[in-house]
């Protein structure tokens, strides 16, 4: 039977504009007002001083965050996904943005149950009551592209049913087209770098998020990679009740990874969770070459043990062995402060500049991440603070004005996203180990196993193990 655990009505998502022009205008107006506001404050601050500018900038931060939030709720689609990402970056963005946009993790308007039920029945080809003995009407989560309901299968298994919003494919296609336009405008305003690769990568990967068959296979691949790891959990996929737009999987009720008090209530130390989180992503990227590319707080839960639950594998990325090797080499040069070797590795990763000279790559690599990595080591923290990124951004901008970037490896777009999200989480959890250090330590372990002849075909130890003890 359908469980009517709540009656939130039929507000749903039908009010989101589906016309390209309307969606374009909503975003364009918001971005223009935010951008002009900052420019006006910066211009007047030069004459009136910081004491005049700082309180006005703080008010504009909050106003801008509210405008972004309101536009995301109005437009939905990729605006919500972007806002969710920005809301998890306390390491980079002002507190006002994090505070306001964090609401997009939990406050996305759900689709009406009537539409969701009809959508599930179309996808599975049978009435809802033929598949489920119970189905909660109120979703346990509503995200940018889909919502999740708790249900019970006829055989008694409790499951989570992820249902794509009806019509979301059309909205995403419009948003990707509009995004391409905004990126072309950005290219005209900032000629230090060609940003079109961002649009190309999103056009490649976002549609894959709308294919739940692909997501299920991604989940099973990561689960297989962590078969013998006791502190990583990936929900089982129930393929007999899964389609391209409906994904049925094992239901796991955990504590959100940012809920510090919730972790303490179940006897879990947040520092332990931070270590498992960092080591798990190092394993995925360095050892297995296949990683979850969207580790925002809504996709990570904690169970007693502690054990880390990974969900939502719509965004995942495979890396080739050659790229992994260069990435590890680049990381080691960063931690050693070897600028010459870092510049060479920066080019080997796939970066290209107009001058294409060794000195330019050395300078750019150091500005991009070298100084940030060094400051992290000096501070002893497992994350980078916002002021570190501000200086890095300023340095990179000045370098690229003289020597523009002409190519960037697409793999680093997703790795950079993972670094950004984990950096924000590391700050929340007060992590002591950075992802960069975990990369290097794991690479040393793999090299030692290879030299000793004990490296398995998968690159992972065959015996059961815990990442917390790594």
d(CA 98, CA 105): 11
d(CA 197, CA 416): 14
**Quick one: which H or E segment has residue 180?**
helix 168-189
The pLDDT of 185-214, averaged and rounded, is 78
Using the predicted structure, report yes or no on whether residue 309 has a pLDDT greater than 80: yes
Looking at residue 179, its pLDDT comes to 85
Q: Is the dihedral of CA 70, 73, 76, 82 positive or negative?
A: positive
d(CA 281, CA 295): 9
Using the predicted structure, report yes or no on whether residue 20 has a pLDDT greater than 80: yes
**Residue of 294, 312, 356, 387 with catalytic role:** 294
Tens of pLDDT, residues 87-124: 766 656 788 888 898 888 766 788 999 999 999 999 99
The pLDDT of 208-226, averaged and rounded, is 96
Of 109-118, 287-296, 383-392, 429-438, the poorest mean pLDDT is in 383-392
Cβ–Cβ under 8 Å, residues 52 and 45:
yes
Tokens (6 digits) for 293:
């590319």
Tens of pLDDT, residues 430-451: 877 778 788 888 888 888 877 7
Label the pairing between strands 146-153 and 158-164: antiparallel
Binning pLDDT at 50, 70 and 90, where does residue 10 land? very low
**Quick one: which H or E segment has residue 124?**
helix 113-124
d(CA 216, CA 171): 23
31 CB-side CA count, 13 A: 13
d(CA 102, CA 122): 34
Looking at residue 5, its pLDDT comes to 42
Of 118-127, 240-249, 294-303, 367-376, the poorest mean pLDDT is in 367-376
The pLDDT of 127-134, averaged and rounded, is 98
Tokens (6 digits) for 457:
């075909």
H helices of 109-246, in order, are 113-124, 128-131, 168-189, 196-209, 212-225
Active-site residue, 130 included:
no
Q: Average pLDDT of the chain?
A: 85
- Percent of the residues in the chain that have a pLDDT greater than 90, as a whole number: 44
Using the predicted structure, report yes or no on whether residue 388 has a pLDDT greater than 60: no
d(CA 289, CA 185): 35
Of 1-15, 148-162, 360-374, 430-444, the poorest mean pLDDT is in 1-15
For tokens 């109120």, the residue is 138
Using the predicted structure, report yes or no on whether residue 299 has a pLDDT greater than 90: yes
Binning pLDDT at 50, 70 and 90, where does residue 396 land? confident
- Percent of the residues in the chain that have a pLDDT greater than 70, as a whole number: 85
Judge residue 49's burial from the number of C-beta atoms within 10 Å of its C-beta, 0-12 exposed, 13-18 middle, 19 or more buried.
exposed
The pLDDT of 202-231, averaged and rounded, is 93
d(CA 263, CA 339): 41
Of 172-176, 302-306, 349-353, the poorest mean pLDDT is in 349-353
H helices of 226-284, in order, are 260-265, 270-282
Task: Give how far Cα 408 sits from Cα of 79, 122, 356, 373, 414, Å.
Answer: 25, 42, 13, 20, 12
Tens of pLDDT, residues 37-80: 988 998 999 999 989 999 999 999 999 999 999 999 888 888 88
Looking at residue 16, its pLDDT comes to 75
Distance of CA 384 to the CA centre of its chain: 17
Task: Give how far Cα 180 sits from Cα of 31, 175, 193, Å.
Answer: 15, 9, 15
Using the predicted structure, report yes or no on whether residue 318 has a pLDDT greater than 80: yes
Using the predicted structure, report yes or no on whether residue 341 has a pLDDT greater than 80: yes
d(CA 353, CA 104): 37
Looking at residue 11, its pLDDT comes to 40
DSSP-assigned states of every residue in 25-41: HHHHHHHHHHHHHHHHH
Looking at residue 88, its pLDDT comes to 66
Task: Give how far Cα 178 sits from Cα of 85, 109, 181, 185, 229, Å.
Answer: 19, 23, 5, 11, 43
Cβ neighbours of residue 34 closer than 8 Å, sequence gap 6 or more: 64, 67, 68
d(CA 179, CA 197): 12
Strands, E assignment, 320-466: 352-353, 405-407
d(CA 258, CA 304): 15
d(CA 206, CA 172): 8
Using the predicted structure, report yes or no on whether residue 223 has a pLDDT greater than 60: yes
């Amino acid at each position: 039977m359908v469980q009517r655990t709540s009656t939130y009505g039929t507000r749903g998502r039908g009010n989101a504009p589906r016309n390209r022009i309307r969606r374009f205008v909503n975003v364009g107006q918001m971005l223009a007002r935010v951008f002009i506001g900052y420019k006006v404050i910066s211009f007047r601050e030069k004459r009136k001083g910081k004491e005049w500018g700082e309180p006005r900038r703080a008010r504009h931060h909050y106003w801008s965050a509210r405008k972004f939030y309101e536009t995301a709720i109005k437009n939905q689609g990729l605006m919500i996904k972007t806002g969710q990402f920005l809301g998890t970056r306390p390491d980079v963005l002002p507190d006002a943005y994090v505070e306001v946009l964090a609401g997009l993790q939990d406050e996305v308007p759900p689709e009406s149950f009537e539409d969701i039920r009809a959508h599930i029945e179309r996808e599975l080809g049978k009435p809802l009551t033929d598949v489920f003995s119970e189905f909660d009407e109120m979703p346990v989560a509503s995200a940018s592209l889909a919502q999740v309901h708790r249900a019970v299968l006829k055989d008694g298994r409790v499951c989570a049913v992820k249902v794509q919003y009806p019509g979301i494919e059309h909205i995403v296609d419009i948003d990707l087209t509009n995004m391409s336009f905004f990126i072309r405008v950005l290219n005209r305003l900032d000629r230090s770098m060609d940003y079109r690769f961002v649009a190309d990568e999103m056009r490649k990967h976002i549609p894959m998020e709308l294919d739940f068959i692909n997501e299920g296979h991604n989940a099973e691949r990561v689960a297989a990679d962590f078969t013998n790891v006791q502190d990583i959990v990936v929900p089982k996929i129930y393929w007999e009740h899964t389609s391209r737009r409906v994904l049925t999987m094992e239901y796991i009720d955990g504590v959100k990874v940012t809920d510090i008090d919730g972790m303490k209530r179940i006897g879990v130390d947040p520092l332990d969770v931070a270590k498992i989180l960092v080591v798990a992503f190092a394993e995925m990227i360095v050892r297995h070459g296949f990683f979850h590319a969207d580790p925002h707080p809504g996709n990570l839960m904690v169970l007693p043990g502690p054990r880390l639950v990974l969900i939502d594998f719509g965004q995942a990325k495979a890396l080739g062995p050659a790229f992994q090797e260069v990435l590890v080499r680049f990381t080691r040069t960063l931690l050693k402060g070897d600028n010459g070797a870092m510049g060479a590795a920066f080019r080997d990763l796939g970066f290209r500049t107009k001058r294409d000279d060794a000195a330019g790559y050395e300078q750019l690599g150091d500005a991009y991440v070298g100084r940030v990595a060094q400051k992290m080591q000096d501070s002893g923290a497992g994350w980078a603070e916002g002021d570190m990124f501000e200086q890095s951004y300023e340095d990179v901008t000045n370098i690229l004005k003289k020597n523009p970037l002409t190519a960037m490896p697409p793999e680093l777009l997703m790795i950079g996203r993972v670094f950004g999200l984990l950096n924000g989480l590391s700050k929340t959890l007060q992590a002591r180990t950075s992802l960069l250090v975990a990369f290097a330590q794991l690479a040393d372990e793999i090299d030692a196993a290879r030299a000793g002849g004990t490296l398995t075909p998968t690159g992972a130890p065959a015996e059961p193990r815990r990442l917390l003890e790594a």
